[in-house]
A = this chain, B = another copy of it.
Amino acid sequence: MFAVSSIRELARRCGVSVATVSRVFNTPEVVSQQTRQLVLGMAAEIGYLPNESARTLATKKSNMVGLVWDTDHRRPGWRHPFLQDILVALKGALSAHGLHLLMLAPDPGAGPGDPRRFLRAVQRHNVDGVVIIDNGSRDPAVLALADAEVPCVALDLRFTGPTCTYITSDNAGGGRLAAAHLIERGHRHIATITGPAGNWPAAQRLAGFREALTEAGIPLADGDVVTGDFYLDSGHAAMTRLLERDPRPTAVFAAGDEMAVGAIKAIREAGLRVPDDVAVIGFDDIEVAALVPPGLTTVTQDKTGFGTAAAESLMAMLAGTATPPEPTTLPTTLILRGST
């Protein structure tokens, strides 16, 4: 589609060897000021750009990091609440280090359930490291990456190993924040809609929430803990059940904003008001939170932080430290809106 001149062409025009040209781009401090300028000038003039494939072949480093996000072939409809924010931040932070993001599709040579389907893609493309955006399931294909000792950083997934680390929000702290806020608002009977059993962030949110309640001497009955799946409908269903309780809770903490919106819907459909009859607080601070009346009070996650922290952890591992960086915990904060 266009002609790009090669290192040989550039070397010829400058009257130097290709080795020298290569050094100008890789170890400039080792070549004389004079030839460096000459080469750089000519490179700009003829529009020379080093060919990454050739570079990768020679060095075994591709300057590409793989992105694995949509890992579970059994859950195709799954949507991340703030994928776009993460991608923007991650892309920006990586490109500052000259790294590009390759979205890893399952290798076509592997079947849908093949645990090597991502690893194969990683190997073929010489990807330097991988960022994993978990979807809440434990996919063996993700674990296979760790086993192969690919540098990995996972988001919201407890992922450790000789070449693995992870980034997560302070979910327990966020749960505590939610409880403290409702308590401060005077509530003494508080229910919660939690995430699926086995979901780690959900468990942490619940743990922090429970802790703060206990510390305040407020009981949490088993019947006031209902499980959802993070989607709207489950929040609606859970709230419907909670409204049947007698006495009825005066406030509810949902472990995700979508479920919180579903809860608000159920409360309204029951002819009750938010926050007067039942207050609602969510988790995530997704876009809808600000849009749905009366405005959802929620615990916000540092969305951009996920991207930048992931890039930093990965950079550290690529720099070849002996041990992987410690997991990063991003702070959570309270956002007050109309629902509490």
Contact of A53 among B94, B106, B126 (CB under 8 A): B126
Which stretch (A8-16, A81-89, A177-185, A199-207) binds chain B? A81-89
A17 at the interface (CB under 8 A from B): no
A56-64, A216-224, A324-332: which lies at the interface: A56-64
A291 touches B288 (CB 8 A): yes
- Given the known interface contacts A2-B123, A102-B102, A105-B95, the answer about A53 and B49 at a Cβ–Cβ threshold of 8 Å is no
Indicate whether A41 reaches chain B with its CB closer than 8 angstroms: no
Q: Which of A88, A104, A291 has the most CB of B within 10 A?
A: A291
In the complex formed, the residue of B with least CB distance to A148 is B2
Residues in B with CB closer than 8 Å to A125 are 52-53, 100
List, in ascending order, chain B residues with CB within 8 A of A70's CB: 88, 91
Q: Which residues of B contact A108 (CB under 8 A)?
A: 95-96, 98
A163 to B291, CA, bound (A): 41
Closest to A70 in B: B88
Whether A291 contacts B52 by the Cβ 8 Å rule is no
Q: Which of B56, B76, B148, B258 contacts A1 (CB 8 A)?
A: B148
In the complex the two chains form, what is the Cα distance from A265 to B2 in whole Å? 52
A51 vs B54: C-alpha distance when bound (angstroms): 12
Complex Cα gap A98–B125 (Å): 12
Residue of B nearest to A99 (CB): B105
Chain B residues near A98: list those with CB within 8 A: 108
Residue positions of A touching B, CB distance < 8 A: 1-2, 4, 49-54, 56-57, 62, 64, 67, 70, 76, 79-80, 83-84, 87-88, 91-92, 94-96, 98, 100-106, 108-109, 120-121, 123-126, 148-151, 163, 232, 258, 261, 265, 268, 287-288, 290-293
Pairs of residues from A and B, 9 with the lowest C-beta to C-beta distance, nearest first: A95-B105, A53-B56, A101-B103, A53-B57, A53-B53, A52-B124, A1-B149, A52-B125, A288-B288
